[in-house]
Amino acid sequence: MNKLLEIKDLHVSYGGIQALKGISLEVDEGEIISIIGANGAGKSTMLNALSRQIKIEKGEILFNGAALPSQAHQVVQAGIVQVPEGRQIFANLTVRGNLEIGAYLRKDKEGIEKDIAYIFSVFPRLQERQSQYGGSLSGGEQQMLAIGRGLLSKPKLMLLDEPSLGLAPMLVEEIFNVIKKINDEGTTILLVEQNAQKALTVAHRGYVLETGKIIKTGHGLQLLNDPKVQEAYLGVKIE
Ligand code: ATP
C-alpha cells in the first residue's frame, strides 16, 4: 500500500490553548479513515492544519512522500481538498456556479464538463436544481453540493469535516453511501465525525481523538466493538 498521508507529531495552538498535542497518523492510498471525537477534541483543527488554513506549531506532514506545501492553494494543486464543516457554499451563486468554483485551478474545459456530468450522475438532485441559488437548497443538498465542489478539483485525498452534521437520518445514510461510492471510485478519504457509529462503519481504519491526542486506533469494526469507544461515543452503557 502506498502511504498517501503521514502526519508526525503535529502540534497546533491558538494563543495559549493547545488544540493538538502531538498527533501522528497515516492514511494509505484507497482508504477511508475516520477520526472520531467529542466537541472540541481538535478534529477541525487537524483538517484545517492539513489544508494549511491554520499554522502548525511543530510536526511534519508528508503527502505522497514529499513535504506538504505551505500554502492553501498549493495543497489543492497537490491533490488535497477540504469539504469544510458547515459546507460554506455560495448562497448567491447557482448550483452550477458553485461547482465551477471547485474547478478554479483547472484549465481543461472539457474535463470539467465531464466531471460536472459525473457529479450530476452521483447527485441527480443537484442536476435538477442546477440553476437554483445555493442558498435555496436544503441542508442535505448543500452538503452534496459541497462534496461535488470538492470533487471538481480532482483530489487524491478528500478531507470531510462533519458531513452528517445537522442532517436528518435518511440524508445521513445517503451522504455516507456517497462517501463510500466516491472512495470505491478511487478517492482516498479522511473523515472527521461526531457520528461515530456511521463513521466507523464506513471506515477501513479509525482514530479516536481526545483533547488533542490520539488515544486509540484500529480497524473500523474493531473500534466499533471496543467497550470504551462504545461507552464514550456510541451511548452504550457498560454495567
Ligand atoms: P467540533 O466538533 O465542536 O467542531 P472539534 O473536534 O472539531 O470540535 P476544534 O474545533 O478543532 O474541535 O477545537 C479544538 C480546540 O481548539 C477547542 O478547545 C476549541 O475551543 C479550540 N479552538 C478552535 N478554534 C479556535 C480559534 N480560532 N481560536 C481559539 N481556540 C480555538
- Tell me, yes or no, whether 218 lies in a domain: yes
Beta-carbon contacts of 17 under 8 Å, excluding residues fewer than 6 positions away, are none
Q: Is residue 30 located within the same domain as residue 144?
A: no
Q: Is residue 17 located within the same domain as residue 63?
A: yes
Pocket test for ligand 1, best of 17, 207, 233 (most atoms within 8 A of CB): 17
Q: Is residue 24 located within the same domain as residue 138?
A: no
Q: What is the pLDDT of residue 72?
A: 95
Look up the pTM and report it.
0.94
- Domain boundary among the residues 149, 173, 199 is at 149
What is the residue range of 142's domain?
89-149
The ligand 1 atom nearest the CA atom of 212: 14
Ligand 1, atom 11: nearest CA belongs to which residue?
42
How much of the chain exceeds pLDDT 90, in percent?
83
Q: Is residue 125 located within the same domain as residue 214?
A: no
- Cα(168) to centroid of ligand 1, in Å? 24
Q: What is the pLDDT of residue 87?
A: 82
- Tell me, yes or no, whether 118 lies in a domain: yes
Q: Is residue 69 located within the same domain as residue 164?
A: yes
Q: What is the pLDDT of residue 235?
A: 76
Q: What is the pLDDT of residue 17?
A: 93
Ligand 1, atom 27: nearest CA belongs to which residue?
14
- Tell me, yes or no, whether 40 lies in a domain: yes
Ligand 1, atom 25: nearest CA belongs to which residue?
14
Q: Is residue 227 located within the same domain as residue 176?
A: yes
Q: Is residue 189 located within the same domain as residue 222?
A: yes
Give every strand in the sheet of 80-83, ordered side by side.
80-83, 157-161, 188-193, 32-36, 205-210, 213-219
- Tell me, yes or no, whether 140 lies in a domain: yes
- Domain boundary among the residues 149, 169, 189 is at 149
- Tell me, yes or no, whether 48 lies in a domain: yes
- Domain boundary among the residues 100, 129, 149 is at 149
- Tell me, yes or no, whether 84 lies in a domain: no
Q: Is residue 171 located within the same domain as residue 74?
A: yes
Q: Is residue 72 located within the same domain as residue 159?
A: yes
Pocket test for ligand 1, best of 10, 11, 13, 14 (most atoms within 8 A of CB): 14
- Tell me, yes or no, whether 105 lies in a domain: yes
Q: Is residue 159 located within the same domain as residue 229?
A: yes
By CB neighbour count within 10 A (0-12 exposed, 13-18 middle, 19+ buried), where does 130 fall? middle
Ligand 1 pocket, CB under 6 A = 14, 17, 19, 37, 39-45, 194
Ligand 1, atom 19: nearest CA belongs to which residue?
40
Q: Where residue 182 sits, what CATH number does that domain have? A: 3.40.50.300
Pocket test for ligand 1, best of 12, 20, 43, 51 (most atoms within 8 A of CB): 43
The number of domains in the chain is: 2
Q: Is residue 58 located within the same domain as residue 170?
A: yes
User: pLDDT digit of tens for each residue in the chain (239 aa)?
Assistant: 799 999 999 999 999 899 999 999 999 999 999 999 998 999 999 999 999 999 999 999 999 999 999 999 999 999 999 998 888 899 999 999 999 988 888 888 899 999 999 999 989 999 999 999 999 998 889 999 999 999 999 999 999 999 998 888 888 999 999 999 999 999 999 999 989 999 999 999 999 999 999 999 999 999 999 999 998 888 776 66
Q: What is the pLDDT of residue 106?
A: 83
Ligand 1, atom 20: nearest CA belongs to which residue?
40
Q: What is the pLDDT of residue 60?
A: 97
- Tell me, yes or no, whether 70 lies in a domain: yes
Q: State the Cα–Cα distance between residues 106 and 149, nearest whole angstrom.
A: 13
- Cα(126) to centroid of ligand 1, in Å? 32
Pocket test for ligand 1, best of 35, 45, 51 (most atoms within 8 A of CB): 45
CB distance 200 to 36 below 8 Å: yes
Q: Is residue 135 located within the same domain as residue 66?
A: no
Q: What is the pLDDT of residue 105?
A: 81
What are 68's three cell numbers? Answer: 506538504
Q: What is the pLDDT of residue 168?
A: 87
